Amino acid sequence: MYDTRPNILIGFHGCDASVANKLINQPDDIKISTENYDWLGHGIYFWENNAVRAMEWAEEKKARGKITTPAIVGAIIHLGQCCDFLDSKFIRMLQYYYPIMVDEYKSAGMPLTFTTIFIVFQNIISIPYLSL
């Protein structure tokens, strides 16, 4: 088994046309989302192999008044270290750590959100010697 993914995927980001142009023309100046509602943590989100869904996402944002001109940007993404819950290794990791996290957060009086779980697992998978 390998810890880093040797593959790439095509992703599509739904956004306003001005953001799409900036992503294409100024890729070193990408604004990463740091909103509390980012359900998988801070970053930039892509729909895997689904340009239609990315455009639907952008159109939904326009309908809510969040953007003006819906657009999408495609990207080639190298997964590298990836917490893939289709992989048995990461399923076992979640089964092992989740009850511990629930107890720890409950003891501390802190809410355990999906975002928190995701961030913790990002840190766990970056430890090369960890195996379950």
pLDDT at 63: 98
pTM for this prediction = 0.66
- Which parts of the chain sit beneath pLDDT 50? 1, 127-132
* pLDDT given at position 79: 76
Contact between 23 and 13 (Cβ < 8 Å): yes
**pLDDT of 129:** 42
Residue 121: predicted pLDDT: 64
**102 to each of 92, 95, 118, how far by Cα in Å?**
16, 12, 13
